[in-house]
Structure 1
Amino acid sequence: MNQGRFLTRSARYWPQRPAILFHDRVITYRELDERSSRLANALIALGAQKGDRVLVQSFNRPELIEFECAMYKAGLVKVALNARLSPEEMVESANSSQAKIMLVGPEHVASVVQQAGRLTDIRTLVALENGPQGFLDYEALLAAASPVSPDVEMEASDLAVLHFTSGSTGKVKASMQTVGNRLASLRKVVMGRLRAKPGDVLALAGPVTHASGMFIQPFLFQGGTILLHDRFDAEVFMATVQQHRVTACFLVPTMINMILAHPRLKEFDLSSLRDVTYGSAPIAPSRIKEAWKAFGPVLSQGYGAGETTGGLVILTAEDHRIAIEEGREELLLSCGRAFGESRVRLVDDAGQEVPLGEVGEIVIQGPDVFAGYWREPEITADTLKNGWLHTGDLARMDELGYLSIVDRKKEMIISGGFNVYPSEVELALYRHPAVYEVCVVGVPDATWGEAIKAVVVKREGHEVAADELVDHCRQFLADFKKPRSVDFVSELPKNANGKLSRKELKERYWDGQARRVA
């Protein structure tokens, strides 16, 4: 087996159709197939052998898609780092991967040069554009290589991807995704999450090194076109949706918030959209309703992770319609129901399945569950138990199978002996119209051990007092769960993926404390 064959087949079916649109560039399926084959052969000529890791760091550009396709064709392991990693995180990830070859985008060349002495295994640097002395030239490598795919034969158990975390939760670690995992991911997207046909256009503005990138291969498999943005700008994004008649996109809540807040939103024609998929962070039900009005009845959301090779739980557009148009708003607090081939259960600390409606840890079994953490056997053993992935996420499931995430097991606040899940408090606060963004953390308290603090970004044009927000929570939460204090800030800290960094925020309140609560 080799997933690269799918692109070669698509190039035969639709050679002149656009595979990638990027600014004013158009790359056809034939060109993408040939360029990725040339890259695969060039890397092999540089000494890369089946199973070797190859590193890339760049903001979104077509070469990232060419790189992924080349890795499959050559039987190499893709190690794509988030473009926003700090130099320290980049060095740590690169050294952990033991990659010998690194491809570098123009914005990262200076940093790589500065850190080159600390990159213990990298022997060859390739500049995607205008590299300095010491870097090989990407286009020159392609020009000198064969356009015929090396088509290396692979097994389902062979390693395909090292998916590194951003480092926001502490030690950097990488999920090992196999060839079989990646094929399972393609199947579940094509079967249940994002169906497409030639002529359909998928807009991606988030980093394709992470969640956004999981839709690329399924879309190319079906003959669609990838409209790639190097970064997200709400106005540019809406303009290109209108210009290219975009049919599908993947957005994180921050992007949705920026679009909904844009003063020119109603001037753009977004009617071509059929699938607006969102995920990666919580979003307020009130904001989902606004998005439903702005985009139409096309919203869906998913739950998944690098350990599950993408989303495996989905709240469909029909679920959204029922929630919004039939008064079932509680569904908007759910991430949906499992689909595809994997099994999802909720268990207690003893590994026993909990009754419906009770909180348990999400555990998962199936072909998209990763092979473990790279060079981390102890963490792997603690995460993969008896064939089940223990996610560390706590959730409830109702009688119809809808899953509602409560929180991360390690982020639970213990206040006065009571367990409080931050996301549960955040969802209550998001129901207030003045709340734009919120993060809830436990802070030091001499009486309660930890006290619940809400850190809030107010929505533009809205005013609200701290005590008003606390009172607002009373109608949704037990008394011990409501915030004891509220701080207002202009923005919340984000990690390299654009997600709220609860760890960084919490650190501000615990800095200097002799006793720590993790």
Structure 2
Amino acid sequence: MDISTLLSQAAFKWPDRIALHEPANQKTLTFAELDRALSGVGQALDQLHIPAGARVALLADASLDYLLADYGCMATGRVRVPLDPSLSADELLAQLQDAGAALLLFSHAYAGVAQGLGIRCLPLAAVTEHPVVDVAARAAQSPQALASLNYTGGTTGTPKAVMHRHASLCAVLQNIVMGRGAAVGDVLLNVRPLWPIAAVAVFAHVLSGGQVILGGRFDGKTFIAQLTEFNVAFSSLVPTQLLRLLRETGSAPADLPAFKSLDVGAAALTGEVLEGSCSLFSERIGVLYGMTEAPWSCYLSPAQMAAVRASGDSGEGVVGRPLFSAAIRIDRPDANGLGEILLGGPQLMSGYWQLPDLSAKALDNGWLRSGDLGRIGSDGLLRVLGRCKDIIRSGGKSVQPGEVEQSLMSHPGVQDVHVFGLADLEWGEQVCAAVVLEGSQAVSAQQLMDHCRAELSRFKVPRRVYFIDELPRSHYGKVQKNRLLAALDLQP
């Protein structure tokens, strides 16, 4: 199967239904109009002499034109390369050169940046508003043809792009459609950036016969009103957005009779944010687990999450069971069943672009080494408990940062925390903590150490506590350690 065929099938099933709606520009496209517009993108690229297999980069915020260019590239044999607009010009140029991009398509907001990069670039409208000439049905793409390059970890080091072929993206789409269980006509509100892989999750909703509302940039003050106005059934937020929403609205249950699920990646959710979210959305929180290399590999439906919480478990870190085409296993589990999470299935990437050694290291006999620590419970549910590389080796013993963070977060004066290791000549590494205090609290480092000492083994107690106004986090809620160390004037 391939992206072009899936789109054509959707247009055949629901030609007159609304597929995409962008209220800010009063634009709508039916399924038939969407399918035709994607062929128009291909015709425009043909006239620009962008051949099949060429990489076409996208630098834009979430919009209807973005999706047309994104899906149109894949449906007509080109390779989409979605870029993170928050990157510096040097970082963007490094990714464009690494991809060998033949063309950069940009939205108006990034015209200055795009035109200053010194490569061939055009506004999105150059391909999305191209007159469509009646032609025969689009050719199907080979399932093994490259469809997408998705850059990860873009703020540091050498560019690293995940390769997804049509076959792997189709497996991802199948997992999402089956996991989410959307009905024809259900509305999904998108307020997330569409790079590097979110556009695929939006695409899955279209393939369910649903309608996608492109709601612009997330705003915690208006998000609940958008859900109400458009009778939304599904949406998705990243942890940083969810935290802002709770700060704006509080956690009192919202009146959302049509709402079915807010899908969140749970690994970065603290217990407090999860608790507030479950209250705000009346236990309609779905949890997904995956990564750019293996999107949507596990899912915990709202009903399953509610059952977990009803059992007395907070639900923190629980990410569900493998989806239809996915498999999971724990590599070299310890006595408590804890080990590295390995992911298998056709949804896996085919490797990293032009990095064969790194690809071979990540893909071990058909299993992707996630780098995450986890365990599978007797109920078959996977729980994510941290990152392998974040394990602190101190005095010959292993310390899981998450355990120390949980202890510190239980102190009433702590709002946010990140625990990490620093090299130490005597101990190998010292356990350190960066702490954000509640504004009204006056707490010393020694008080926090004493608090941990009452709950944890001595070797797990932080030896250094640093106070910071805010932890630097990525869009997905992960603490950016290099930026944190720089802010604390520390060396890694």
- Which residue is equivalent to 2:2? 2
Aligned position for 2:485: 506
Deviation, structure 1 residue 226:
1.3
Aligned equivalent of 1:127 = 123
Correspondence list, 1:259-338, <5 A: 259-263=245-249, 269-279=255-265, 281-308=267-294, 310-329=295-314, 331-338=315-322
> How many angstroms does 1:266 deviate by?
5.3
Q: 2:141 aligns with which of 137, 151, 154?
A: 154
Instruction: Answer yes or no: is the 8 Å Cα contact 1:168–1:501 preserved in 2.
Output: no
Q: What is the alpha-carbon distance in structure 2 between the residues aligned to residue 460 and residue 311 of structure 1? A: 37
* Contact map agreement 1:357 1:398 (CA 8 A) in 2: no
Displacement of 1:302: 1.5
Contact 1:442 1:506 (C-alpha < 8 Å) held by counterparts: no
Task: Work out the CA distance in 2 between the residues paired with 1:99 and 1:494.
Answer: 29
- Rounded to whole Å, the distance in 2 between the matches of 1:496 and 1:166 is 12
Inter-partner Cα distance in structure 2 for 1:109 and 1:298: 40
Aligned match of 1:68: 70
**Alpha carbons of structure 1 residues 169 and 304: separation in structure 2 relative to 1, 3 Å:** farther
Picking from 419, 432, 437, the partner of 2:416 is: 437
Alignment of 1:116-515 (within 5 A): 116=118, 122=119, 124-128=120-124, 137-138=126-127, 142-143=130-131, 145-146=132-133, 148=135, 151-168=138-155, 170-192=157-179, 194-263=180-249, 269-279=255-265, 281-308=267-294, 310-329=295-314, 331-348=315-332, 354=333, 357-432=336-411, 434-445=413-424, 447-459=426-438, 464-474=443-453, 477-495=456-474, 499-508=478-487, 511=490
Distance change >3 Å, CA 270–CA 436, structure 1 → 2: farther
Structure 1 position 37, deviation (Å): 1.6
Is the Cα–Cα contact under 8 Å of residues 251 and 279 in structure 2 kept in the other structure? no
Change (3 A) 1:125 1:415: same
The 10-residue stretch of structure 1 (401-410 or 214-223) with the greater mean CA deviation from structure 2: 401-410
Q: Distance in 2 between matches of 1:469 and 1:214?
A: 43
Shift in alpha-carbon separation, 1:402–1:468, aligned structure 2, 3 A: farther
> How far has the Cα of 1:55 moved from its partner?
0.7
Change (3 A) 1:220 1:401: same
**Identity in percent:** 29
**Distance across 1 between alignment mates of 2:304 and 2:335:** 20
CA-to-aligned-CA distance 1:216-248 (integer Å, 9 cap, x gap): 111101111112233211112222111111111
265-274 or 319-328: bigger deviation? 265-274
| C-alpha distance 281-488 of structure 1, shift in aligned 2 (>3 A) | farther
Q: TM-score, normalised by structure 1?
A: 0.87
SS of residue paired to 2:53: coil
TM-score under structure 2 length normalisation: 0.91
- Aligned to 1:332, what secondary structure does the other structure show? coil
CA–CA distance in structure 2, aligned partners of residues 236 and 20 of structure 1: 20
Please say if residues 39 and 67 of structure 1, whose CA atoms lie closer than 8 Å, have aligned partners that are also in contact: yes
CA apart distance, 1:18: 2.5
Where do 5+ consecutive residues of structure 2 fail to align? none
Q: Closer, same or farther in 2 for the Cα pair 1:300/1:473, shift >3 Å?
A: farther
How far has the Cα of 1:313 moved from its partner?
Answer: 1.6
Tell me how far apart the structure 2 counterparts of residues 398 and 474 of structure 1 sit (CA, whole Å): 29
Distance 1:243 1:196, change over 3 A: same
Partner secondary structure for residue 268 of structure 2: coil
Greater alpha carbon shift after TM alignment, 257-266 vs 238-247: 257-266
1:381/1:158 Cα in 2 relative to 1: closer, same or farther (>3 Å)? same
CA distance in 2, matches of 1:110, 1:498: 29
Aligned length: 490
Moved more, 453-462 or 163-172: 453-462
Q: Give the letter aligned to residue 9 of structure 1.
A: Q
CA spacing shift, 1:228–1:149, aligned 2, 3 Å: farther
Q: Secondary structure at the match of 1:313?
A: strand
The answer for unaligned runs of 5 or more in structure 1 is: 117-121, 130-136, 349-353
Measured on the aligned residues, the alpha-carbon RMSD in Å equals: 2.6
Are the structure 2 counterparts of residues 275 and 510 from structure 1 closer, same or farther at C-alpha, using a change threshold of 3 Å?
Answer: same
Deviation for aligned residue 1:368: 0.8
| Of 467-476 and 377-386, the range deviating more from structure 2 | 467-476
Cα deviations across residues 257-285 of structure 1 (Å, max 9, x unaligned)?
11111157759643432111101651122
Q: Deviations over 1:342-369 (max 9, x none)?
A: 2211113xxxxx3673322222221111
- The structure-2 alpha-carbon separation of the partners of 1:146 and 1:472, relative to structure 1 and needing over 3 Å to count, comes to farther
Amino acid at match of 2:15: P
What is the Cα deviation at residue 99 of structure 1?
Answer: 1.2
Aligned 8 A contact 1:73 1:149 in 2: no
Aligned-pair CA distance for 1:494: 2.7
Distance 1:185 1:148, change over 3 A: farther
